[in-house]
Amino acid sequence: MERRRPQRLTGARPRAGVVVVDHGGSRAAFLGQRPAGLIARPWAIAILLELADGPRRPHELERRIPGVTHAALMHRLGHLARAGVIAMRHSPSEPPRAHHVLTDRGRELLALAELAARWEARTRLRTRAVPGMWALRTLADERALEVLCALAEEDLDERELALAVRPLAEGTLQRRLAAHTREGLLARRQAGRATLYRPTDDARRLGALALRAMAWELRWSRPAPPRAGADLVAILRLSAPLAAPPA
């Protein structure tokens, strides 16, 4: 039986005969990448962990976070404040003293980081510096999610997969497939002369983590991104087999 032609997952220009899932004309980035990208930045998780214990003044954070410079700390505090993850408050003392606190959206973002660390602990992957950072950086990589979602329902070879994702520079898809296989996100099998790829259970659990990131963005982003429906469907297809009852 002839294999069906895979669908392309983004709004880029389609090749002849390829069905396109429309993301509403927005830039090609998956819903949920914004929160993952926020806490995958240098010093972000360390700052959130410190503020989870209570308000901190900038010089206290600088003293309590090993290795951070004053310039790097102030830059990241400003970035997190603009995203609404932390806020500045002034004490009623004289003169008033400024300190930073974690907002509700910041607490939910910290919970996402803790889930990422748990996911990493179940895999053979380990982040040397901050647990969960590798998972968050993978979630923030739109092309990684695009490849995994394209393989969610059917094993594909490299040629078929190239039709299902946006065009990549020559050799890039091959390098990505090799890297994701080494990382344990993809498994491969031979079917005749073709090498077929499929997501591993670790990759599908990463899809479940992506759903939590999507929920954060839908809760705190107004208005909801126009591509939200298509992205949710794609990630649900990736993570759905984990919830399927045993045959």
Query: What pLDDT, on the 0 to 100 scale, is given for residue 78?
Result: 94
Please, which pLDDT band fits residue 3 given cuts at 50, 70 and 90?
A: low
Q: Which range has the top average pLDDT, 36-40, 96-100, 103-107, 126-130?
A: 103-107
CA quadruple 17, 20, 25, 30: dihedral sign: negative
User: Which element (helix H / strand E) includes 11?
Assistant: none
- Helix, strand, coil fractions of the chain, as percent rounded to 5: 50, 10, 40
Residues 4, 160: Cα–Cα separation, whole Å: 10
What are 7-61's pLDDT values in tens digits? 544 433 333 333 233 333 334 467 788 889 888 898 999 999 999 999 999 999 9
Residues 87, 106: Cα–Cα separation, whole Å: 9
pLDDT over threshold 90, residue 71: yes
Measured in residues, the chain has a length of: 247
CA quadruple 97, 98, 99, 103: dihedral sign: positive
Name the amino acid, one letter, at 81: A
Residue 216: C-alpha distances to residues 37, 124, 149, 190 (Å): 13, 27, 20, 39
What are 124-144's pLDDT values in tens digits? 666 666 778 888 888 888 889
Query: What pLDDT, on the 0 to 100 scale, is given for residue 25?
Result: 34
